[in-house]
Structure 1
């Protein structure tokens, strides 16, 4: 008897599941991929796109094509709620999809839903607006503001500044962070990154939370008025409300727990990977594409084994992960445990890793 597997979201883990299914389909399982976008944008190369090094096609994967090649049905919809006890997924617009097995890889949000712009703020960046469109606008503005001091925010700020320098577009990129920049790594490395940003002319505000948004400035928690000509929100990861609304067990931030087999703690037929879940045995690891990529083959293998009623394999996160942050002008900051290096060789290594990763899905 054929069973139905729903893959919800098209993140790092699920595109690898699609590639694996193309090579080795799961027999007697009808697979559907549900995603609001037909493309997967690879986070590792976004800063290079912002800077103008990569084209749009080089940094994204055609998910609809990949699904078709894998024999997977593609449905362009956004999931809104899951009813585990009835094994049904509800999507925006009212469509309902029954399932026997389901996997989530929907990422995390970066813009808090409770942030309400002032009545005077008429063009606050729309969460549904493609980041690509926002980048095109911000490249040309004189004071683009990045909200968020994590790896993504810092990389994009540096890339925007580099784009301006390459194309002789006047202006100064600004960045505001509710914590210190890159606070998930060592203070020494974070200090190095801040020094790099300041040397490029980027103005940085730390320990200040954006609270009220106006057309041409924001007010921060320190009652500071920061002027801007456009805002891109790249704050810390925020959980999709789908899980809590569905009555699923979540952590204090709203992310559902998964076991080391990537199964939800209360439902063995629900799997999850990437930024949208919290690993119960390692709750404090960063929500990063680095871990999602490593989880991907484990997720595929366990979806296959679960379908065949076989013993599942376990995901063990690497103790030390390699991070390479592009800093503009084909230089990068490499971080591996206590080792740091900032040079062109680090960027060349990053470029090699990123291109090899994307080549698998082209």
Structure 2
């Protein structure tokens, strides 16, 4: 019996579980380790923030999915891996042997070492923390979102929309260390989304790098901002698992894989999604779009490794569609240098997201 160990229930691993259900291998045992019974889909966090979706609509019941598909699931997180002996140690003390292991555990939140952040800021990674954090923000007397990337901007807009609908007058504050929102996009895109944010009534503060925080104020390089509840969305950070396990990593400690999504020195080790770095594409953004595209390649190459079949290479697309929900069922669509803000963009996002998650729900 061959043993495949899936660590984490991210986009790519959900795909593998469904593929295994549709064409199970009688001599293949698939085990999934995930620290929560529920895997939340971050693409629908914005709609949930505004109140468009209920909690059960944005999550996958991993226990139920595993039962339906014949996958063994354990509510565990891996803390160490011995890639030579092919053994993974979990936080419960359990040892899991494997013939092939794949990691799809996402990333953590960056810059949490800033003084006071760990004690006072809300965070949503791992993503099963999101519902509890959101409930506090929705009713907060003075909420602040820290982070001017896609996640921070989108959550701030939908949080503001929720509060306006419920006549909560105190506006959301959005702090960004960059001098413009969505700094990875063009200046024209940044200018457009900044207008949308300001029109929504959000108090936008650019070029404000947080230096520390306490239970009452967020301190930046220029001033102090009073707040009641703060959400910290200051970019991604690599999990410590790979460095501690002495697996090959890039200079930021993400698992380093080849275009086959395998670790070069340990071909039984695979990875996908935000926890990896591709050797040939080191600057690739941590984006769920790539995890979805990696999924079929990952499954084919795992089978190729286990059964000595042909595999294939993952080549990321240079342009991809991205839609941010801006509240009130409008979406900000970006594709290359093209961008627009319209209601049908939100409808397209809703259709894509709903179709994706429905595949894994009962």
- 1:7 CA drift (Å): 0.2
Q: For residues 263 and 175 of structure 1, what CA distance do their matches in structure 2 show?
A: 39
Correspondence for 2:200 = 200
2:219 corresponds in structure 1 to 219
Q: In 2, distance between residues paired with 1:338 and 1:158?
A: 22
* 1:315 Cα offset (Å): 1.1
Shift of 1:111: 4.5
RMSD in angstroms over aligned alpha carbons? 1.7
8 Å CA contact 1:111–1:233 kept in 2: the answer is no
**Cα 1:170–1:242 shift into 2, 3 Å:** same
Kept in 2, the 8 Å contact 1:263–1:272? The answer is yes
Matches of 1:206 and 1:13 in 2, distance apart? 35
Q: What's the counterpart of residue 73 of structure 1? A: 72
1:356: which partner in 2?
355
1:125 is the counterpart of 2:122: yes
Cα drift, residue 31 of structure 1: 1.1
CA positional deviation for 1:48: 0.1
For these two proteins, the number of residue pairs brought into alignment is 358
State whether residues 50 and 158 of structure 2, in contact with CA within 8 Å, keep that contact through their aligned partners in structure 1: yes
Give the drift of 1:124.
Answer: 4.1
125 and 339 in structure 1: CA distance in 2 versus 1, 3 angstrom threshold: closer
Which ranges in structure 1 are unaligned for 5 or more consecutive residues? none
Instruction: Find the aligned partners of 1:94 and 1:212 in 2 and give their Cα distance.
Output: 36
Q: How far apart, in 1, do the equivalents of 2:93 and 2:112 lie?
A: 22
Residue 248 of structure 2 corresponds to residue 249 of structure 1: yes
2:190 match: 190
Structure 1 CA distance for aligned equivalents of residues 207 and 260 of structure 2: 37
Give yes or no for contact 1:22–1:70 (8 Å, CA) kept in 2: yes
Q: In the aligned structure 1, how far is the partner of 2:153 from the partner of 2:53? A: 18
Q: Distance between the aligned counterparts of 2:97 and 2:223, measured in 1?
A: 50
Q: Is the 8 A contact 1:212 1:219 kept in 2?
A: yes
CA offsets, 1:68-113, max 9 Å, x none?
2111100101111111112111122322212111000000001544
TM-score, normalization by structure 2: 0.95
Give the C-alpha shift of residue 204 in structure 1. 2.1
Whole-angstrom distance in 1 between the partners of 2:4 and 2:97: 9
Structure 1 residue 313: Cα displacement = 1.2
TM-superposed CA distance for 1:25, in Å, is 1.7
Deviation at 1:27, TM superposition (A): 3.7
After the TM superposition, which parts of structure 1 deviate over 6 Å for at least 4 consecutive aligned residues? 126-129
